[in-house]
Structure 1
Amino acid sequence: MKRILILFLSASLTAPAAAQYLFDAAQADRLTAAWRAGDERAVEAVAQAQTQAEELLAMTPATVADKTVLPPSGDARDYMTLSPYWWPDPSTADGLPYARRDGERNPEVYDCPERESADRLGKAARTLGLLYRVTGEERYAAKCAELLRAWFLDPERGMNPNLTYAQLIRGRKSIRGTGIIDGRRLGYALCSARLIEASPAWRAEDRAELKAWAGAFLYWLEHSVNGRKEFAAANNHGLWYDAIRIMAASAAGERERVREIAERSLAPRFARQVAADGSLPEELARTLSLHYTTFALEALSVARNVALESGYDLWTLPEVQRALAFVAPYYEHPDAWPHRQIKPFERGRGAALLYEAGQASGRTEWVEAARRIGCRDGVPQDVRMICFLVN
């Protein structure tokens, strides 16, 4: 961590940028005002989140070093997971070579605890941060700060700022870029720190160190072999690569880089992926095609909400509008989806996208569709709070 601070401390000590989140800040303001005014829907949504938060407040902070199997580096502080859709060959003694079964998760992925631990971290930080933002209760900020310090800043067990060993395939030694998509969970946690900046629990040294960590992570994303490979991805992986870079740049306080990545990389990348009818052909080829189409749009949602601080709104792009218009009818009626979807689709994810995009672009038909669907099925607690008007 000392080396990171030397490299990035000068950027860390600049004046803080305006707060920006993983959701539209106007929606957060709407929720806060409604909750304080006693709106029944807002009060219920926040109360449900507070009930869940009792478990979060009792969480033992996880670290990336909480593992028994070390990565190839031998360093427990290097993040390591297994690629989810690769399975052993049952006809061989050692299971090699592994073969891909798209959409079918190999339970061996749970042998590496980082994936689930990072997922819990991201969701907990978002929920606790938003609860602090709305209610002002310090206990939420204090717990969020404790979780962030343990994962990123602990001098002995904190995560090294790289994803070199993310989504490994057993039996293979080649460097892969696809594991970078795991970084979205880290990005959620990094950006959630912005929600608790007003709390004394999140100290000036915490802010400086986390900005330094995010800066080092962004450098690794853009200069590593893994990152260069993922930059070339022509499907949702490429979109998430840019979204993760945007989250890292924002957490590092690099506002101009946020806009640059959104406008010069993510926007043209998405335009190349969208067909004339608004579909995403790379995602339609998957066995979970409605899920992956939505997953691609969720990358845009995250990137868009973070990039708003730079004055750039991805929802206004015609290609994005076309893609949302293509998929919107199927969020209400997923059984009518004419492509492969081997598992049930969680409709609330579609509702959350339609609600956000409809509010942002004045498409009242999307907002009404979101109300008919409801933002409960398959969405995390912080999104349920944000979508309190359509639950």
Structure 2
Amino acid sequence: MRIPLFVLRLTTFGALFCPQWTRADPNDWVNPRYVLATKAGDPTTASAQQGIISNAAKTAKGGPWMVTTSKDAPPSNNLHDYLSWAPYHWPNCNWCPKGSKMFVESSEQDQSNAEVSPVDHGSDLIDHLDPDLAGAGALQNAMEFHPGMEHDLLKRTSVTDELDWSLGLGNWTDDFVGQNDGLDAALPPVSIADGIPVLAPPPSSATASTQTTDSEPSSSSVEESNSTSETTTPTGAYLHPMTNKKQNPCTPSPTKTLSPSATWTSCDYVPRDGQVNPDVRTLNGASDINAVSQSVLYNAIAYALTRQSTYSSNAALFLERFFFDKATFMNPNVNYGQVVRGPGTQTGSYMGIVDLRGMVKVSNAVMILRGIKSPDWTAAKDSAMVSWAKSYIKWLQTSDLGVHAQGAKNNHGTFYYSQLAAIQLLSGDQKGAATSLHTYFTGPYMEQIVASGEQPLEAVRTRPFHYRCFNIEAMLTNAKLGDQLGMNYWTFKTKYGATIQTAINYVMSLNPGKEDGSEAYPHVAAAAAAYGDPQKKYINYLRSKSSSYTSQSFWYYDQPHAFDATPSTSPLHNRGDLDVAGEDPLPSSGASAVQNAENCPPVFGDSDSIELDVGISVTCDILEPYYPKTM
């Protein structure tokens, strides 16, 4: 029996979206001076303004939010500690599936050593799925009780028929909360290789795939062909195969049924890049920080536009409950962000810091409330928020996880500096914010965009269009933060002579395929506002892609007068009163900026691999084709 798509959606995904869930904006920064100077009902942005006001009211219905309401305690057993699980990690218990004959005597074993068909694995359970079961928990628990079920679901699904089971899972991001609400975006092309669903490598002029740690063995590859669905297997991106004892011996389950909590500590977890484990949604930490950050920004802007006290009081209340109310505050650390579950001590990973990228919106909201002198945002509340921010800044700059994130070369590093600089602005440390931005633009940014506009470290992921847009999102935020400080990073070039505009132009030239093309729209609007659009290239792109772009929040955020130091207003400079020490000149785009023909790209430094996500790394041979060589 094939499970209908609508049943899977109802039983699997129904509980993953809260009733008041509203699609979140990309991470962004809106200059408070612009917000305070905006005239309500301005014809250019009136529709977008109304959308923000409407979303302020809608999102507020879900608040207030607080980490202490989590039903699952972090390893510290302190509910004030933020907790999330690594989204791309799945249990690999290797227990025998229900009804398996893997433990028959060798005399009965098929001498051809053929694969035991997975179609029977857990079939009785699948045939009796109750469509009224409450969402992700039911199906996830079923898979844990009957290992092999997830493989069965995929095996039963026609690869040419949308890959039903994976439909929603592949669309949630690294930011797995609130960025993509569509359930119609499937994973990258999939083929069946030796009975295993295999993700295709990201589309590119270069052959690319991802590598993982030794925690999961690599699978055999199938030669890529444009005429077939066969693809090269990215190591770690396939689902666990159910084979016979000689090929892949399994062991009996320790109990007839295994509770989710037992799975978390008993089973090894392995990475599958781009495939979000649905049970990460059972934790409320990531969804709550996303929700509170988005709602407080909407409500702060709505108050500035309308002067209606409801919006101001909403923002102040939500900030208080989440950050500094004695009963419900979040501890200023991410020690248990994106925990990789499994046997042994469970600690967070530095990748978990990206979960709090919404701190940019939080800082933005606070500065708007300050600027407009909201009576609800009292001096006492502001002081408490600043105290929290300073503690979090210290954690970001000195903890092992924070220091590790500082060195991340891909989007994780970009987002690290976004939230660090924004929180420094909130705390009143403008010099610190300027230094953080300078460190990013003269550090990780230098290797992130090549001359074509391609972003190699994002292009090798299983969802490359998303990851390119995701990193641009953080790069634009950094440029906007710098812009507020009078620092023009819009024209700042990488080692390869590229700017943020180059990266946006490149993304515009791509066909997103089954990925969500709308992720590029806010970036295109930002490019038009920051760089100018005399040929109407950007506005025509938006018009061709979306009939409602002028009603989106980004249209309000991304207007030319929202920026202070764009290419059209000033040359590259730093404000004298900020005086960032050690200012480096723009690097040339000559031979010194590119790799030696016989060596790895400079981005590797002394290492032979670069970690892109928890347990997911890329090696020189995969990344090298994306970078130019010396002549």
Q: Corresponding residue for 1:357?
A: 527
Q: How does 1:365-376 map to 2 (within 5 A)?
A: 365=535, 366-373=537-544
**Alpha-carbon distance change, 119 to 234 in structure 1, aligned in 2, over 3 angstroms:** same
Identity level (%): 22
- Pair 1:324 & 2:327 matched: no
Contact 1:71–1:80, Cα closer than 8 Å, also in 2? yes
| Partner Cα separation in structure 2 for residue 191 and residue 238 of structure 1 | 20
Alignment match of 1:170 (pick from 334, 341, 346): 341
Q: Relative to structure 1, is the Cα distance of residues 381 and 204 closer, same or farther in structure 2, using a 3 angstrom cutoff?
A: farther
Aligned counterparts of 1:384 and 1:355: Cα–Cα separation in 2 = 7
Return the structure number with greater helix share: 1
Q: 1:373 to 1:199 in 2, by over 3 A?
A: farther
Per-residue CA distance 1:342-391 (angstroms, 9 max, x = gap): x42242x32221222332223445542454256788999643543589xx
Correspondence 1:240 to 2:410: no
- Taking the aligned partners of 1:387 and 1:361, their CA distance within structure 2 comes to 11
Measured in 2, the distance between the counterparts of 1:178 and 1:270 equals: 18
Q: Determine if contact 1:239/1:300 at 8 Å carries over to the other structure.
A: yes
Using structure 2 for the length normalisation, give the TM-score. Answer: 0.53
Report the alpha carbon displacement of residue 136 of structure 1 after superposing the two structures with TM.
Answer: 2.2
Instruction: Give the alignment's TM-score, normalised by structure 1.
Output: 0.83
Residue in 2 that maps onto 1:4: none
Residue 201 of structure 1, CA deviation: 0.5
Change over 3 Å in CA distance of 1:50–1:387 after alignment to 2:
same
Q: Label 1:325 to 1:122 Cα distance change in 2 as closer, same or farther (>3 A).
A: same
Provide the C-alpha distance between the structure 2 equivalents of 1:25 and 1:202, rounded to a whole number of angstroms. Answer: 15
CA distance in 1, matches of 2:325, 2:546: 36
Q: Tell me how far 1:318 sits from its aligned partner.
A: 2.6
Which amino acid is 2:293 matched to?
Answer: G
Aligned pairs, how many?
Answer: 358
Match of 1:15 in 2: none
Q: Distance in 2 between matches of 1:59 and 1:235?
A: 33
Task: Tell which deviates more after alignment, 233-242 or 47-56.
Answer: 47-56
Could you say if the C-alpha distance between residues 346 and 131 of structure 1 is closer, same or farther in structure 2, counting changes exceeding 3 Å?
A: farther
Whether 1:52 aligns to 2:55 is: yes
Per the TM alignment, residue 211 of structure 1 is displaced from its structure 2 partner at its CA by: 1.0
1:96-139 CA-to-partner distances (Å, cap 9, x unmatched) read 21111111111110121111111111111111111122222221
Instruction: State the Cα RMSD in Å.
Output: 2.7
1:23 paired with 2:30, answer yes
Residues 375 and 384, structure 1, Cα contact 8 Å, conserved in 2:
no
Indicate the residue corresponding to 1:10 in structure 2. none
Contact 1:126–1:188 (CA under 8 A) maintained in structure 2? yes
1:157 match: 328
Specify the SS of the correspondent of 1:165: coil
**One-letter identity of the residue aligned with 2:333:** N
Gaps of at least 5 residues in structure 1 are: 1-20
Letter in 2 for 1:126: L
Residue identity matched to 2:349: R
Secondary structure at 1:253's aligned position in 2? coil
Distance change >3 Å, CA 28–CA 357, structure 1 → 2: farther
Supply the AA of the counterpart residue of 1:147. F
Is 1:64–2:67 an aligned residue pair? yes
| Structure number with larger C-alpha Rg | 2
Aligned to 2:515: 344
Residue from 343, 357, 364 that aligns with 1:191: 364
Secondary structure of the 1:314 match is coil
Match of 2:275 in 1: 104
Q: Does the aligned pair in 2 maintain the 1:267–1:314 contact within 8 Å?
A: no
Relative to structure 1, the CA distance from residue 36 to residue 326 in structure 2 (aligned partners, 3 Å threshold; closer, same or farther) is closer
CA distance in 2, matches of 1:241, 1:379: 30
